[in-house]
Structure 1
Amino acid sequence: MLTRLSISDFAIISHLEIGLYPGLNILSGETGAGKSIIINAVNLLLGARATTDLIRDGAQEARVEGLFQVPPTSELSQVLKGMDIPFEGELLVKRIITRTGKNRVTINGSMATVGVLMSIGPQLLSISGQHANQALLKPDNHLFLLDEFGDLAGERESLSQEVRQFRSLTSEIALLKEEISRAQQKQELARLQADEIARAGIRAGEDEELERERRRLKFAEELFRIAQSSYATLYDEEDAVLPRISRCLKDLEKASRLDDSLGMATEALKAAIAEVEEASYTLREYLDGIEQDPKRLEQIEDRIFLLNQLKRKYGPTLEDVLAYRESISESVDEVDKKKALLAEKQEAMAQVKERMISKAEALSQRRMEVAKNLERAVEKELGQLQMKGTVFRVSFQGPSDDEISDPDSLALLIGEEGFDQIEFMISPNVGESLRPLAKIASGGELSRIVLALKSILARKASVETVIFDEVDSGISGATAEVVGEKLLELSRRHQIVCITHLPQIACKGEVHFLVKKQVEDGRTMTTITGLDKKERVMEIARLLGGKKITEKAISRAEEMLT
């Protein structure tokens, strides 16, 4: 419940404070006095968009504060605890708009955001004015009103989760299919490349080994000549190195027996003989193994040519070629993995689609049941609001029989609210055909329909405060009196704040405030004051008779207030 409202430097309001009470609070005043400005200020506490032109001329900031009493057992109290907002039954909401365009929001002294106001505002109070009347004319809003009446928000949210998951999976599957398509276009080339490398049967370091063999075969004749000459010089000639060193060794061994200081030289010659012998044996084996094989040379050169081709295509070394083959083999495997993942996603989507369709059909069936109850409730309320005989219907438009029988087609029609499209239809005059609300309702009829719906929904809603602005639009006389009685009845369950120009409604209030516009020190400003019994009689008389208040009007006002 809104217990106190404070507005400073907002539009033509310099400073205004009002203490509101349980029951029916009435605000009246001349046209243009600033009643709608007060509603605009309250809207800021609900998170409405703010602009700097709302700040009063000469001021640096506009300030709106609202003090609410919130039952500790309400849903809102649990929401506030979840937001770590200090709360002990009262909620002080403050919003400041500065010339720089920045907003400062505090809730019970804690910093908050406009987004927080938007989330908790609808649970604090509801405003029904011209905007609400226009919103009622839009069929897009009718579905939410029906769901609110039928307490279907939980079922709608459950369906919404399935729809979001279905859409997410649909996007993921489409992306996977694109990736697989692109990969498959490259896959054939990758397979050809992998096969080419595999057929070559290469191994790391093979090119270096072949190059060495190629050089031996290409220069075999010269290598044979050099090796043979060297072998002869060391071992095979009559005056070869090895026999000469052997003779020298025999002489030194004889001399070392005479002088042991030649022992080191003797040992060195023995070692030299062993090395020369080893070199000779190696050269002899080399000569035995060397061959001239033009056919083998041709084979090697062909192989080296093939390996060089592979290296030009796939990497500078054979190791790189082998690594490339491994990588494209992995890419081929990756396609298979993506196909397996696609199958999993498609299976998951099929399950989600089945649940989604089932929930959408169940929600649609519940809506049709709820719609019958809403139709009866609205017709009953309208009957009490001088619109007896009015026929109110909820028109459903849904998928065709063919679409219902095709799960794939039906799934595409389901949005987060389901597949139902509804519109409120009305026939305010007996014998007239039903027509859309926007095409048939007059201003007075629309005001009463809004009041009827508000009355019905308020019985279910947890919101404590309902503000009615222009609820008297297009009505007068006995109808206005009935509307006043309806507001009074509604105020037994909720705090009602009603802005009105009609005495038949104003007289039903338990508290009455007068909004006035006046000039002080050359500045226009709006003020609000609570009326005592005598002042209230005069205000009701003014509403009855206009500028000139007659004794008859005063007498009638006193009668209306008794």
Structure 2
Amino acid sequence: MITSLSIKNYALIDNLQVNFNQGFSIITGETGAGKSILLGGLSLILGKRADLSSIKDVSKKCIIEAVFDVTNYNLQSLFEANDLDYEPQTIIRREILPTGKSRAFINDSPVNLNSLQILGEQLIDIHSQHQTLQLVDDAFQFEIIDALANNNSKLNTYSQQLKAYKSIQKELENLLSFKAEAIKEYDYHSFLLNELNEANLIEGELETLEEAYETLNNVEEIKESLILSSQLFNDEEVGLITALTTLKNNFKKISRFSDKYENLYHRIESSFIELDDVFSEIETFQEHLDADPERLDQVNSKLQILNNLFKKHVVSTVSELIEIKEELTLKVSETENLDETIQKKEEELIEVEATINKTAETIHKKRIQAIPELTKQLESILKELGMPNAKFNVSLKTSNTFYLNGKDDLSFMFSANKGGQFNELKKAASGGELSRIMLAIKSILSKYKQLPTIMFDEIDSGVSGEISNKMGQIMLQMSHTMQVFAITHIPQIAAKGNTHFKVYKEDIDNVTVTNLKKLNHDERLVEIAQMLGGIEISNSAMAHAKQLLN
């Protein structure tokens, strides 16, 4: 419920601050006093687009702020979904700057108009004769039936199941689409994969092959060098081994005379051992080094294969080729196993479809059971509102389509006159009748679900005193479970309110401003008397006003 409203520098309002209570609040005032301005300011809080022409003094900014008690509205999840700080006393502020730029805040957090509208829909329902078109909307008609059917829990379950169903359906569509494309590419991918498999790729083999190629391709030069090296080591007169042996023996003789000679001896001995090992390796290389044209061809062929693969796949290492092979293996495998995957997904879809059909059937049955009670209550209320022959013909048919709220097609037909043909609401009911139907529906809904604050804007226009009296009684009953406002010109309705506000104009320093005032009992008595008999209050009007208030 709205607990306070502050409007500064908006239209004819200079500075207005008003607090509201629970229950039924009345707003009255002469035509042109500014009730529409009040609604306009409130609409900005609910996310309506701002207009620079709305600013009273264009050198200052316009500020509209409202405080709402949202304790009983269960809006925590909505705040969380919109990344807002939840506060039981939620403050919504709207600013229009002199530049024309508009800013909005919820609990001091900047928000866009979409967030404002989403929250606003949960807080205030401003209803006028022009908004009765909501009555002909299927979603609203289902909302009425589902409220009586107590379908909220089942609809939440259905919504989750529908989300899962559509997700699986999308996955299946993607698989089928992928299959169509994959089949086109399967042969090409298979060819590439076979080529890579035949290459028998081994991590690090490129370096090994390149080394083998260099050795085999230069075998004569290497052999010649090894033979020469072997001769340098093994010559009986001047070979390195002979020289080092002599050197080692010489120092061995004198090593006992000094530590320094002994150290040199050990160093020479180490060098001898190392060179002797080198000599052995040279001998081994020499023994195993032979020209092998066949092996050279094999190595050269494998290198050529690798280089061709590098160019084809635009890579430079065997590791990258192995990665590509693994990717192609996966793609080919997916294509080969696609039918099995699709079949499993189809079976999963059938299973979820059966579950959602079961939930939709339960929703349908509960709606069927609720429809007679709905029509009974509607026709009873409308009879009291001067429509004794109003009849409704509401029927449901199960379709093959999963809608957002079930599988039902709804027919909501109406007849205003005895013996008249049933027709669509928008064709069968006048504007005044639609207003009364909407009031009846809101009255019924208020018994079954928590509704936001509702503001009826001259919904009583064009009705008689007795019917307006009943309308006032219905609004008063609604206010027992929710906050209700009525902007009215009808004294019978005005007298029903728990609280009464008057919108009025006054001239201050030759400037006309609109203001809103909470009336005390005596002021309220005068206001209702004037609504009954005009500015000049007669004794009979005053007596009638007292009677209405009592």
- Cα deviation for residue 439 of structure 1 reads 1.2
Which residue of 2 is the match for residue 485 of structure 1? 473
Distance 2:78 2:329 in 1: 55
CA contact (8 A) 2:6 2:15 kept: yes
Give the fraction of aligned pairs with identical amino acids, expressed as a percent.
Answer: 28
TM-aligned CA distance change 1:49 to 1:397, over 3 Å: farther
Q: Distance in 1 between matches of 2:144 and 2:188?
A: 60
Distance 2:171 2:290 in 1: 67
Q: 1:156 to 1:243 in 2, by over 3 A?
A: closer
Q: Quick check: 2:505–2:513 contact (8 Å CA) kept in 1? A: yes
Shift of 1:112: 6.5
Q: 1:111 to 1:484 in 2, by over 3 A?
A: same
Distance 1:158 1:318 in 2: 52
Q: Which amino acid is the alignment partner of residue 355 of structure 1?
A: T
Q: Which residue of 1 aligns with 2:531?
A: 543
What amino acid maps onto 2:325 in structure 1? Answer: I
Does residue 354 of structure 1 match 2:354?
A: yes
Give the equivalent residue in structure 2 for 1:163. 162
Quickly say closer, same or farther: Cα 1:419–1:49, change in 2 above 3 A.
Answer: farther
Native 8 Å contact 1:180 1:335 kept in 2 = no
Alignment partner, residue 266 of structure 2: none
Q: C-alpha displacement at 1:455, in angstroms?
A: 0.7
Secondary structure of 2:496's aligned partner? coil
Contact 1:194-1:325 within 8 A present in 2 as well: no
Give the deviation of 1:500 after TM superposition. 0.8
Give the Cα separation in 2 of the matches to 1:144 and 1:32: 36
2:289 and 2:209 mapped to 1: Cα distance?
A: 21
In the aligned structure 1, how far is the partner of 2:502 from the partner of 2:417? 37
Match of 1:14 in 2: 14
Aligned-pair distance for 1:200? 5.9
For 1:244-255, what aligned pairs fall within 5 Å after superposition? none
C-alpha separation between the residues in 2 aligned to 1:15 and 1:322? 76
Measured at CA, do residues 199 and 506 of structure 1 come closer, stay the same or move farther in structure 2, by a change above 3 Å? Answer: closer
- The 5 Å alignment of 1:60-459 reads 60-68=60-68, 74-76=72-74, 85=86, 87=88, 91=89, 93-99=91-97, 101-105=101-105, 107=107, 111=109, 113=111, 118=117, 121-122=120-121, 124-130=123-129, 132-199=131-198, 204=205, 205-206=208-209, 209=212, 213=216, 303=298, 306-307=301-302, 309-315=304-310, 320=317, 324=321, 327-336=324-333, 339=338, 345-399=345-399, 403=400, 413-459=401-447
Q: Deviations over 1:78-111 (max 9, x none)?
A: 7799876555xxx36341313153435354xx64
Output the CA distance in 1 between the equivalents of 2:315 and 2:379: 88
1:498 aligns with 2:495: no
Are 1:521 and 2:519 an aligned pair? no
Aligned to 1:27: 27
Mapped partners of 1:398, 1:495: distance in 2:
37
| Deviation string, structure 1 residues 425-466 (Cα, Å, up to 9, x no partner) | 210111111111111211211111011011111122334743
Residues 27 and 513 of structure 1 are in contact (CA less than 8 Å); yes or no, is this contact kept in structure 2? yes
Stretches of structure 1 lacking an aligned partner (at least 5 in a row): 235-240, 254-259, 261-270, 404-412
Q: CA RMSD in A?
A: 4.7
Does the 8 Å contact 2:450/2:482 carry over to 1? no
Deviations 1:173-228 (A, max 9, x none): 33344445544544433333443454466873457646755676xx9xx999x99x
- String of CA shifts for 1:472-504, please: whole Å, max 9, x gaps: 133223322222232233334444321112233
1:9-65 deviation per Cα after TM superposition (whole angstroms, max 9, x unaligned): 222211223344444322112222211222233344445544444332335223334
Counterparts of 2:450 and 2:290, CA distance in 1? 104
Q: Distance in 1 between matches of 2:482 and 2:326?
A: 72
Q: State whether residues 6 and 66 of structure 2, in contact with CA within 8 Å, keep that contact through their aligned partners in structure 1.
A: yes
Specify the alignment match of 1:409 in structure 2: none
Counterparts in 2 of 1:4 and 1:211: CA distance versus 1, 3 Å: closer
Which letter does structure 2 place at the counterpart of 1:543?
Answer: M
CA-to-aligned-CA distance 1:126-175 (integer Å, 9 cap, x gap): 43224542322333432233323433232222211222222223333333
Structure 2: which amino acid aligns with 1:171?
Answer: K
Secondary structure of 1:459's counterpart equals helix
Using the size of structure 1 for normalisation, the TM-score is 0.73
Instruction: Report if aligned partners of 1:95, 1:105 keep a CA contact under 8 Å in 2.
Output: yes
In 1, the alpha carbon distance for the partners of 2:533 and 2:421 equals 39
Deviates more, 1:322-331 or 1:74-83: 74-83
Bigger-Rg structure (1/2): 1
CA–CA distance in structure 1, aligned partners of residues 488 and 315 of structure 2:
92
* C-alpha displacement of 1:313: 2.4
Structure 2 residue matching 1:389: 3-state secondary structure:
coil
Q: Which amino acid aligns with 2:509?
A: D
Q: Distance in 2 between matches of 1:507 and 1:465?
A: 20
- Contact map agreement 1:14 1:526 (CA 8 A) in 2: yes
SS at match of 1:420: strand
Q: Count matched residues.
A: 503
Instruction: Using the TM superposition, give the Cα deviation of residue 308 of structure 1 relative to its aligned residue in structure 2, in angstroms.
Output: 5.5
Q: CA deviation at 1:390?
A: 1.0
**2:37 paired with 1:37:** yes
> Alignment partner of 1:14: what SS?
strand
1:189 to 1:539, Cα distance in 2 relative to 1, 3 A: same
Are the structure 2 counterparts of residues 389 and 327 from structure 1 closer, same or farther at C-alpha, using a change threshold of 3 Å? same
Residues 212 and 299 of structure 2 are in contact (CA less than 8 Å); yes or no, is this contact kept in structure 1?
Answer: no
Is the contact made by 2:193 and 2:329 (CA closer than 8 Å) also made in structure 1?
Answer: no
More moved, 152-161 vs 299-308: 299-308
* Structure 2: tracts of 5 or more residues without a match: 247-252, 254-271
Contact 2:129-2:432 at 8 Å conserved across structures: no
Relative to structure 1, the CA distance from residue 396 to residue 37 in structure 2 (aligned partners, 3 Å threshold; closer, same or farther) is: farther
Give, in whole Å, the separation in 2 of the partners of 1:244 and 1:378: 129
